[in-house]
Structure 1
Amino acid sequence: MNIFQLFIDSLPSLLSGLSVTIELAVISLILAVILGIILGIFSISTSKILKGIATIYIYVIRGTPLMLQALFLYFGIGQALDIQFDPIVAGIITLTANASAYMAEIFRGGIQAVDKGQMEAARCLGLSYSKAMRKVILPQAIKIMIPSILNQFIVTLKDTSILTVISVRELTESGKIIIARNYMAFEMYAILACMYFIIITALSLISNHIERRSSYGNKR
């Protein structure tokens, strides 16, 4: 069997794995954006408690490997609490926790990039801090952060392959299952590499295009 025939025969299984990969990345990033906003606001808060929570969370998550986080959640916490996690659910929680730590830094940087006069002007108009943040600062910050958010989506998409350690049947795991049946490891890993390359390259081009348009808009 040549590599082209292998690809044709394996396509349904690979597409199924790819759909799981995309689903994991999209859901995890949406949840990570929500959690990242909260942590980002905590990190610039005047409250030492909130700032401490965000700092500890970010340092712990960014200071440990994603694979270890997945294993700790699925096997460690699962055993300690006598819970049998669904692999997909465990994968989403792991990716969300990991991505949110990086999103928090992205949001913190984006919020701080907005001119401080914007907040002062909003407060002078009678808006509370939370309302000024929600209606004035965050909309401007998100526009600045869009390229970074897209880049984080790309990273999260690639990170889904690590979830093979907890048997999530995403694209890489689907390839491994096919290899176990036909022992064509070189050919299958080459196919997987090409599929990831095409998807990541397309997303990178979209991200670069949006970043260029954003930069042009800011110059105007």
Structure 2
Amino acid sequence: MIKILVDNWSTIVTGFWYTILSSILGLAGSLFLGTVFALLEMAPNRFLKVIGNVFVEFFRNIPLLVITLFFYVVVSHAIKINGFWAGTMALILYTSSFIAECIRGGVNSVDEGQMEGARSNGLTYTQAMIHVVLPQGFKLAIPSLGNQFINLVKNSSILSFVAGLDLMYQANVISGANLDPFNTYIVIGIFYLIITAPLSAYMTHLKNKLG
């Protein structure tokens, strides 16, 4: 393992940073998009609610690989897009559907009196949701959101199918060159742990801090 790490250090580090970048972009994009569609799912307007439900059910029930290949094979004909961006955009859409459900579950766990109290004080539905109910829903959704963030990092390995230059892609290149897949994938697995273990610890700390 040490020999593989030393001989392929620059290649592994390149894959590591591509995985980090894809995960950060995926996390930010899916959190934003998931929040938007969670709010649509809970909107009093029936049309908006249907849009939110259709989005969530559509992307939640399609394999991540299919979404990735759609961007890489189909969308790339209309817009110039490489494997990294195809995989990252697929990650955002796929993960956002699960995050939307996490946030919706958190908001639904907030006491109904919070919304009623905010409305009775003159806030509109949108103002009450954004300023009063949603922050409390986020707090309650932290455990499930943490799991989705960790899953996103692991799912970023989908980039390897479309030459996204991530850790798994580099692992395939290295194992093909040295014919030692066993030790190669152990090394790559350790690098994934370097990303996911601190994230898991932080989410646990945040959950305990917020009580």
TM-score band w.r.t. shorter chain: over 0.9
Verify: 1:194 aligned to 2:190, yes or no.
yes
Verify: 1:17 aligned to 2:15, yes or no.
yes
Deviates more, 1:29-38 or 1:205-214: 205-214
Determine which of 44, 62, 65 is the counterpart of 2:63: 65
User: In the alignment, which residue of structure 1 is the partner of 2:101?
Assistant: 105
Q: Give the deviation of 1:155 after TM superposition.
A: 0.4
Q: Take 2:12 and 2:39, find their aligned partners in 1: how far apart are those partners?
A: 40
Verify: 1:36 aligned to 2:34, yes or no.
yes
Verify: 1:174 aligned to 2:170, yes or no.
yes
TM-score (norm 1): 0.89
Deviates more, 1:4-13 or 1:102-111: 4-13
- Is this contact kept in 1: 2:84–2:162, CA < 8 A? no
Secondary structure (helix, strand or coil) at the match of 1:64 reads coil
- Is this contact kept in 2: 1:147–1:210, CA < 8 A? no
Q: Take 1:155 and 1:38, find their aligned partners in 2: how far apart are those partners?
A: 20
Deviates more, 1:59-68 or 1:84-93: 84-93
Q: Give the deviation of 1:117 after TM superposition.
A: 0.6
Q: Give the deviation of 1:198 after TM superposition.
A: 4.2
TM-score (norm 2): 0.93
Q: Take 2:25 and 2:118, find their aligned partners in 1: how far apart are those partners?
A: 33
Aligned length: 211
Q: Take 1:135 and 1:206, find their aligned partners in 2: how far apart are those partners?
A: 25
Secondary structure (helix, strand or coil) at the match of 2:171 reads helix
Q: Give the deviation of 1:57 after TM superposition.
A: 1.3
Report Cα offsets for 1:32-64 as digits up to 9, x if no partner.
111111100111112221111111111111111
User: In the alignment, which residue of structure 2 is the partner of 1:158?
Assistant: 154
Runs of 5+ consecutive residues of structure 2 not aligned to the other structure: none
Q: Take 2:75 and 2:11, find their aligned partners in 1: how far apart are those partners?
A: 31
User: In the alignment, which residue of structure 1 is the partner of 2:127?
Assistant: 131
Q: Give the deviation of 1:156 after TM superposition.
A: 0.4
- Is this contact kept in 2: 1:110–1:141, CA < 8 A? yes
- Is this contact kept in 2: 1:123–1:129, CA < 8 A? yes
Deviates more, 1:3-12 or 1:56-65: 3-12
User: In the alignment, which residue of structure 1 is the partner of 2:80?
Assistant: 84
Verify: 1:114 aligned to 2:110, yes or no.
yes
Q: Take 1:36 and 1:127, find their aligned partners in 2: how far apart are those partners?
A: 24
Amino acid at match of 1:56: V
Determine which of 123, 137, 143 is the counterpart of 1:141: 137
Report Cα offsets for 1:64-120 as digits up to 9, x if no partner.
1101110011102333x3x33122222221111011101110111111111111111
- Is this contact kept in 2: 1:62–1:98, CA < 8 A? yes
Q: Take 2:194 and 2:203, find their aligned partners in 1: how far apart are those partners?
A: 14
% identical aligned pairs: 32
Runs of 4+ in 1 over 3 A off after TM superposition: none
Q: Give the deviation of 1:20 after TM superposition.
A: 1.0
Q: Take 1:199 and 1:89, find their aligned partners in 2: how far apart are those partners?
A: 20
User: In the alignment, which residue of structure 1 is the partner of 2:25?
Assistant: 27
Amino acid at match of 2:198: A
Q: Take 2:42 and 2:177, find their aligned partners in 1: how far apart are those partners?
A: 53
